[in-house]
Chain A
Amino acid sequence: MKEYLVDIRNERLSFFTPAGEVKALNDVSLHVREGEVLGIVGESGSGKSVTSYSLMGLTAHPGRLVGGDLYFNGHYINEMSEREMQKIRGNEVSIIFQDPMTSLNPVFTIGNQIREVILLHTNKTRKEANDRARELLQLVGINEPDKRLKQYPHELSGGMRQRVMIAIALACEPKLLIADEPTTALDVTIQAQILELMRDLKEKLGMSIILITHDLGVVAGMCDHIAVMYAGKVVEYGTTDEIFYQPSHEYTKGLLRSIPNLNEREHKRLVPIEGLPVDMLNPPAGCPFAPRCRSCMKICLSSMPNYTQVSDHHSSACWLLDKEKFERQAEGQA
């Protein structure tokens, strides 16, 4: 069996805020194979960004890794120094942020910002780096690359800036691209362009992608596997089809029920998930979703369920599945 490109095992990460410890990640395990697209879906504060940032050693100040092991491309991230991390970042793994307006430096030209990555990680000369930058802009579908290289970020539209971000991220042909809500700040028609571009580039370059989003529509068309996160936990993991057609966690089911479908031909009332998002400072004792769950049982309020293997690549943490299993076993014995 081939080893995973990314292997996160039982990661625990907390933010030590003045108000108390916030367990942003609570026993998260995820893996990504080479050439695979993993979608991480969840609401704000569910830990989807924190997970992938920690993989790049980008955990912000009050946050600290408390437990677990992080492997990426043969590196053991836990024990790497900042210096070693810098060599990987932008080289073997790179990231596209949500907001292309704020993630480019306004006082440097586009060319300058693309060349910076190339010069830092390779032995190319300035001229070679410039050629590579031009090539990259063409790759991400920007016309007149020579003119664009000399322009500043404010001279480009949002969609163009996001293309530049992608060009920077791909400059050193990374093994893994983390896309953190890459299209949330963009208009629908531009979103379609960027998603199309990412799909094309994946085919061409064969890298793995972690796509973080709250939009179930975006993951449906892009991903091989999906991890659904809620309150710092992966509550369900499976192939895209399994998550959409055989969801087994009540939260996933609720999410799928609560979004309006454009292709519906009659008006049906949406079925929302009741209640409020979890307060991460005072999370519930048992399953974090229990207070909002329609089929909540006594045990859900007191202890956290383990993962149940629904099929080969599909697991889910819900007591209902344990209950079903027991019932099936009981039937079998009787």
Chain B
Amino acid sequence: MKNNKLVEVQHLKQYFPVKSDKMFEKKVVKAVDDVSFYINKGETLGLVGESGCGKTTTGRTLLRLHEPTGGKIIYDGKDITHVKMLPYRRKMQIVFQDPYASLDPRMTVGDIVGEAIDIHHLAANARERRERIVELLSLVGLNTEHANRYPHEFSGGQRQRVGIARALAVNPEFIVCDEPISALDVSIQAQVVNMFEELQERMGLTYLFIAHNLSVVKHISNRIGVMYLGKLVELADSYELTFNSVHPYTRSLISAIPIADPKVSRGTNRIVLEGDVPSPVNPPSGCHFRTRCAYADERCAAEEPEWREVSSGHFAACHHLEKVQ
């Protein structure tokens, strides 16, 4: 079982310093606070949550684009928390959210994809490099002629394909997909989602798929983790999570999603959460969710809930799991 894990994080912490009103007082935002999970080879783990919950920071810290404040990152059995990342960059890649901002406007698409090949010396000569670029572009559904064009000549969906080709250029094993479809038009989203699935089947890729749209995450993921204010609150198989969630936050998140079916959406009684997400600089004591939770009591304010296994492979952190069920 142990060899099956490709990526694992243990008690991952990422704190960012923030300005404080008082002099000499150090304040931090706990963007990611004690998060642990693993991803098996060939699996897709989805990470959902609202803006500011730390899902993107988790993905970036996992790749050490931020240096973690605490915790361990294990890749393929090796602790990579403090090693030189260059050899691992060949294995771990990322696709960014905004295809308009993540491509250098002054480089041709060929060079954007080729840059990774150059850095890792993956091509012996110019001809080989060119062939590789063409191969990558066709893999993501673009043509040879696209290699000489600039990003501004492409539509959003095509740019995201370029971003994916760039990630694939080094033949990675693991890709962090950070909201890869939320900037795209509805009719294009399905194209890109399908492409992620096809590439996974063909190349045996492992994904960490980060998004705020639970419908899409559920569609693409094997397991899903739900985050709230820097903490993982629930983690389970994607069907288990959508149909048998146990954490009050997950439940309200699911119930808040507008379903594209008029009869269903007229019939459902939504759990509408009161209030806003509290500021991550000053999160509530104890359970972070207690200020918006219907089940909250003194215990929730006093102690942080423990990360428990509810059923096989289904974890949640809540004091009142029995009551919720």
Q: Which residues of A contact B (CB under 8 A)?
A: 43-44, 157, 159-160, 187-193, 195-196, 214-218, 220-221, 240-241, 244-245, 254-256, 258-265, 267, 269-274, 276-277, 292
A189 and B252 in contact (CB under 8 A), knowing A214-B186, A258-B186, A276-B155? Answer: yes
Inter-chain CA distance A195–B43, complex, in Å, is 36
- The SS class assigned to the B binding surface is helix
In the complex, A274 Cα to B260 Cα: how many Å? 21
Whether, in the assembled complex, B51 has its beta carbon less than 8 Å from a beta carbon of chain A, the answer is yes
Q: Is the CB of A221 within 8 A of B266?
A: yes
| 6 sampled A-B residue pairs with Cβ under 8 A | A216-B186, A220-B265, A244-B261, A260-B215, A270-B194, A277-B157
* Residue B270, interface by CB 8 Å: yes
- Residue among A263, A264, A265, A277 making CB contact with B188, cutoff 8 Å: A277
* Cβ proximity bits B239-256 to A, threshold 8 Å, 1 near / 0 not: 100110000000011111
Known: A43-B185, A196-B270, A217-B265. A191 touches B191 (CB 8 A): no
What is the bound-complex CA distance between A276 and B273, given in angstroms?
38
Task: Say yes or no for B216: interface residue by CB 8 A criterion.
Answer: yes
Tell me the smallest distance from the CB of B270 to a CB of chain A, in Å. Answer: 6
Task: Indicate the member of B197, B218, B262, B264 with the most A CB atoms within 10 Å.
Answer: B262
Q: Are B258 and A196 touching (Cβ within 8 A)?
A: no
Q: Smallest Cβ distance from A78 to chain B, in angstroms?
A: 32
For A216, list chain B residues within 8 Å (CB).
Answer: 186, 260
Interface pair B262/A221, CB less than 8 Å apart: yes
Please list the residues of chain B having a beta carbon within 8 angstroms of any beta carbon in chain A. Answer: 50-51, 155, 157-158, 185-191, 193-194, 197, 212, 214-216, 218-219, 239, 242-243, 252-266, 270, 272-273, 276-277
Most buried by B among A189, A190, A244, A274: A189
Give the residues in chain B near A220, CB-CB below 8 Å.
258-262, 264-265
> What CA separation (Å) do A245 and B266 show in the bound complex?
14
Q: Verify B50–A272 contact, CB threshold 8 A.
A: no
Closest to A270 in B: B190
Contact at B187–A258, with CB atoms within 8 Å?
Answer: yes
Residues of chain A within 8 A (CB-CB) of B50 are 187-190
In the docked arrangement, what's the CA distance between A263 and B253, Å?
A: 14
Minimum-distance CB pairs A-B, first 4: A217-B258, A272-B190, A260-B219, A221-B265
* Bound-state Cα–Cα, A43 to B191, Å: 15
A157→B276 contact, CB < 8 A: yes
A187 touches B259 (CB 8 A): no
Q: Are A259 and B190 in contact (CB under 8 A)?
A: yes
Is the pair B187, A192 in contact by a Cβ cutoff of 8 Å? Answer: no
With contact pairs A193-B273, A267-B219 given, residues A258 and B258 touching in the complex (Cβ less than 8 Å): no
Q: From residue B141, how far is it (CB to closest CB) to chain A in Å?
A: 10
- In the assembled complex, the Cα of A255 lies from the Cα of B185 at a distance in Å of 11
A residues in contact with B276, CB < 8 Å? 157, 159-160, 190
- A residues less than 8 Å from B190 (CB atoms): 258-259, 270-273
- Interface pair A261/B158, CB less than 8 Å apart: no
CB-CB < 8 A to B273: which residues of A? 189, 192-193
- Residue with the highest number of chain B CB atoms closer than 10 Å, among A159, A254, A258: A258
Residues of B within 8 A of A218 (CB): 258
Measured CA separation A187–B212 after assembly (Å): 8
B259 touches A263 (CB 8 A): yes
Q: Is the CB of A244 within 8 A of B260?
A: yes
Residues in A neighbouring B214, C-beta threshold 8 A: 188, 262
Distance of A189 Cα from B226 Cα, bound (Å): 14
Contacts A43-B185, A191-B258 given; indicate if A270 touches B193 (C-beta within 8 A): yes
**Closest chain B residue to A244, Cβ basis:** B262
A159–B276 Cα distance when bound, in Å, is 7
Contacting pair A274 B257 (CB below 8 A): no
Q: CA separation between A65 and B263, bound complex, in Å?
A: 38
B272 lies within 8 A of A192 (CB): yes
Among residues of B, the one whose C-beta sits closest to the C-beta of A260 is B219
Please state if A215 and B258 are interface contacts (CB–CB under 8 Å): yes
**Considering only CB atoms, which chain A residue lies closest to B279 in the complex?**
A157
CA distance A269 to B50 in the complex (A): 26
Q: Which residues of A contact B277 (CB under 8 A)?
A: 157, 187
Nearest B residue to A159 via CB reads B276
* Chain B nearest CB, measured from A260 CB (Å): 4
In angstroms, how far is the closest chain B Cβ from the Cβ of A306? 24
Given contacts A188-B256, A260-B216, 6 further A-B contacts (CB under 8 A): A189-B256, A189-B272, A192-B270, A214-B185, A244-B260, A256-B260
Collect the chain B residues with CB atoms within 8 Å of residue A43's CB: 185-187
Rounded to whole angstroms, the CA-CA distance of A265 and B50 in the bound complex is 24
Residues of B with C-beta under 8 A to A262: 214-215, 218, 242, 254, 257, 259
Q: In the complex, A267 Cα to B273 Cα: how many Å?
A: 29
Query: A195 and B194: CB pair below 8 A?
Result: no
Q: How far is the CA of A314 from the CA of B249 in the complex (A)?
A: 40
Residue of A nearest to B49 (CB): A187
A188 and B257 contact, Cβ closer than 8 Å, known pairs A262-B215, A265-B239, A276-B155 = yes
B189 touches A258 (CB 8 A): yes
In Å, the complex CA distance between A221 and B261 comes to: 8
Q: What B residues does A270 contact at CB under 8 A?
A: 190, 193-194, 219
Cα A245 to Cα B261 with chains together (Å): 8
Looking at B187, B194, B257, B265, the one whose CB has the most chain A CB atoms below 10 A away is B187
Please name the residue on chain B nearest to A195 by beta carbon: B258
Q: Is the CB of B260 within 8 A of A241?
A: no
The CA-CA distance from A277 to B158 in the complex, in Å, is 11
Q: Most B CB atoms within 10 A — which of A196, A260, A264? A: A260
* Cα–Cα distance between A245 and B263 once the two chains are bound (Å): 10
A260 to B219, CA, bound (A): 6
* Chain A: minimal CB distance from B159 (Å): 12
In contact, A277 and B212 (Cβ under 8 angstroms): no
Bound state CA distance, A265 and B244, in angstroms? 12
Name the residue on B nearest A251 (C-beta).
B187
